[in-house]
Structures are given as C-alpha cells and as structure tokens.
Amino acid sequence: MTKSGEVKVLGWVSPYVLRVQIALNIKNVTYTYLDQNLKTKGELLLKSNPVYKKVPVLIHGDKSISESRIIVEYIDETWSSGPSILPSDPYERATARFWATYLDDKWGPATKAIEAVVIAGEGKEAKNAAVDKVHEILVLIEGAFKQCSKGKPFFGGGQIGYLDIALGGFLGWLRFRELIHEIKLLDPAITPELVKWADRFCRHPAVSGVMQTTELLANSEYGSGLFAKVRAAASTLN
C-alpha cells in the first residue's frame, strides 16, 4: 500500500541524496526532485531541515525527514509498494546497520585524505598510502558482502538492500576520484567481488537512471573546483 501525500526530495550531487532516490525507486514511489543551492540555502531547505541545514531532505506531505540512512529506513517502513530494503531478521538488520554506520564514519575522511595529499603536493608515496587506507576499508566491506549476500548478487541477497544503497551511493564520486587522481579504488586484484557487485548495482533499474556520471560530477560546482585544484597541484610538480 502506498501512503498518500506528495513526495519531494531536496538534493544536490551528493552520494547521500542518491541513496534516497534509489530507495524511492525500489519502492516505485513517484517523487519530485528539487536541486538545492547549498551556498545560499533557500527557504524550503532551511524550513525543512532547520537543525543541520543540509541535504538530503525527504518531504512527504507535511512531514520532513533528514539524514540519508534515516530517510531510507522511513521509506522502507512507509511504502510496501516494492521489496523490503532492510532485512527482516533482527541480526541481519543490525549487521547491515553496523556496516552502513562504518561506511559513513570512515569513507568520507579516507577519500578526502587522498585529495589532501594530492593538493598539498606531498608526493606519490603519500598518495599511495592514502589510497591504501581506502583499500583497507573496501577489503572489510568485501568481507561484509560475502557474509551478508550469502552467495547472492547483492548485500541484500537477491535484491538491493540497505547496505547496497549505503555503499552504492558513493560509486559515482568513487569513479570520479579514480579519474582525476589516476588511481584504482575498486581494484579487481584487491576486491574482486565488490567490483562485480558494483557493475550489477549500477545496471539495476532502480539505480541506472539516477547514478551520477563522471561527466555530471566534473561539471558540478564541487567537482569542477576539485578538478581545478588537482590540476593546479599537478602543474607545480611538472
């Protein structure tokens, strides 16, 4: 049963916003996407998320819900028009939440550390060390994939689940970073199962239409600014 009320997503080219879009697509929920300027922060965003003043925000009728993982759980509990996103088993549900929290704690700092050493011109050795830290995270996540998937295509088993969405939201920016830094983060020699999972995930109908391309990210304000900083740093080394 689909709950009544207009659905809107306040967003930007963010991996966390992508999580919300994928969850809504899995549930076959029609929604309106409203791109936000995070520098000026319009009235609707400030009214809908007065505490953190950031995206994503899900507006469902007269209710506003913030924070991507909380929104995904709300979507799963509100709409039964598609498959369940969170596992029904309490232990499996707790395990998925644990690894999603781990990703949100570790992924951002680890990937931004690559930018920091590149822009600071700290050299190849420092860059490789930062990349190795990301590989360490992905090796652990590959172990989680083997545990959660039980030999099936996704963390959620036969279908995309909570942890698929948590990790999958990062794939667009991961590939963008691979491009601009000339590195390999998802490496078949290190995490072969995650490489195959990422391909399946991106081809899924709930994902393919909203997955952020490297071209889109390169043309975004944040992506173009980051690309310019990386190129400037590279030019000082030549």
pLDDT band at 236 (very low <50, low <70, confident <90, very high): confident
Domain with CATH 3.40.30.10 in the chain: 7-78
pLDDT band at 3 (very low <50, low <70, confident <90, very high): low
Q: Give the C-alpha separation, 216 to 65, whole Å.
A: 26
| pLDDT at 5 exceeding the cut of 60 | yes
What's the Cα-to-Cα distance from 8 to each of 47, 50, 55, 121, rounded to whole Å?
14, 17, 12, 42
| pLDDT at 18 exceeding the cut of 80 | yes
Classify domain 90-237 at the CATH topology level.
Answer: Glutathione S-transferase Yfyf (Class Pi); Chain A, domain 2 (1.20.1050)
- The pLDDT > 90 percentage for the chain reads 95
Write down the CATH number for the domain with range 7-78: 3.40.30.10
Which pLDDT does position 237 carry in this prediction? 62
- The pLDDT > 70 percentage for the chain reads 97
Average pLDDT, stretch 224-229? 93
Query: Whose structure tokens read 């080219």?
Result: 13
Q: Kindly report, residue by residue over 108-160, the tens digit of the pLDDT.
A: 999 999 999 999 999 999 999 999 999 999 999 999 999 999 999 999 999 99
Q: Give the C-alpha separation, 150 to 9, whole Å.
A: 33
Domain with CATH 1.20.1050.10 in the chain: 90-237
